[in-house]
Amino acid sequence: MIAGKMISYNGSVIGESIKFDKPRKISDRLSEVARTTFVGRQNELSFLSDAIHAVNPPFFVAFIHGPGGIGKSRFLHALLYNVDPKIRRLVLDCREIEPTPQGFQGALGAALEMPESEPGFAQVIDRLRIELDRFQGREVDTAGDGFFATFDKPTNGIQCASAIRVALGKIGINIRVGLHLGECEVMEDSVSGVTVHIGARVAAKAEIGEIFISSTLKDAMAGSDIRFEDRGSHKLKGIPGTWNLFSVKGD
């Protein structure tokens, strides 16, 4: 499975939680069901919900921690779903934020400066999904300024990223993309595993307007007509060793 991460539309956050009155895809419907039928942890949900809606909150930061795969993300999505819609909600993907107070403050500041409804954001997502459907990709998550998708075929992932780069470029939106090939852990409506983390780290190395892929994916494309440029060896945060990365050349 190929995992790809598309981030940084013109280097700024352009969206928060995305809601549609009628889910447009099966994956949307599954995500909606997962949020609305969340069971268990009612004491925690009630405690945090009461704190959020309190006139004088008993605390300002709640730290929810634990090993991967135990349902922290689903718990938080369930919490957000039950929060009064008049309260502004922001979702930041901390995998793409420098792990320092300054890095977090910078990402939070950029998100808070964003208007509640960014003009043209729905159009951006529509174009993303059109290309995703055309190349048989699966939308997994949209959080902050990121869009996460998987593909069953390596060629489809690269061609989809290239098509999105062209389509969004026509309306003045520039993106950077990271792609990696490997096995993923699929759990209900989420996809996880080291392949996902590597894809995100590869994307973080790309500049605005670039599509970066790992050498693992590049090797799988032997004989393809797609052209690549060697971008050297890189250290990927949290990933052992050095990685040779390549950029996908435009038409």
Question: Residue 143 in contact with residue 93, Cβ under 8 Å?
Answer: yes
Q: For residue range 144-157, list pLDDT tens digits in order.
A: 667 888 898 999 99
Question: Residue 211 in contact with residue 248, Cβ under 8 Å?
Answer: yes
Q: Answer positive or negative: Cα dihedral of 235, 240, 242, 245.
A: negative
Confidence band (pLDDT; 50, 70, 90) for 121?
Answer: low
Confidence band (pLDDT; 50, 70, 90) for 36?
Answer: low
Residues 6+ apart with CB under 8 A from 173: 9, 10, 124
Question: Residue 133 in contact with residue 121, Cβ under 8 Å?
Answer: no
Burial 81-100 (b: 16+ CB within 10 A, else e): bbeeeeeeeebbbebbbeee
Confidence band (pLDDT; 50, 70, 90) for 237?
Answer: confident
Q: What is the token pair recorded at 121?
A: 């954001």
Report the SS3 class of residue 138: strand
Query: What's the CATH architecture for 2-13+118-248?
Result: 2-Layer Sandwich (3.30)
Percentage of the chain lying above the pLDDT 90 cut: 18
Each domain of the chain, given as residue ranges in start order, spans: 2-13+118-248, 26-89
pLDDT of residue 19: 33
**Cα(191)–Cα(19) distance, rounded to whole angstroms?**
21
pLDDT of residue 20: 33
pLDDT of residue 228: 93
**Cα(160)–Cα(4) distance, rounded to whole angstroms?**
10
pLDDT of residue 4: 54
With a cut of 60, say whether residue 9 has pLDDT above it. no
DSSP 10: T
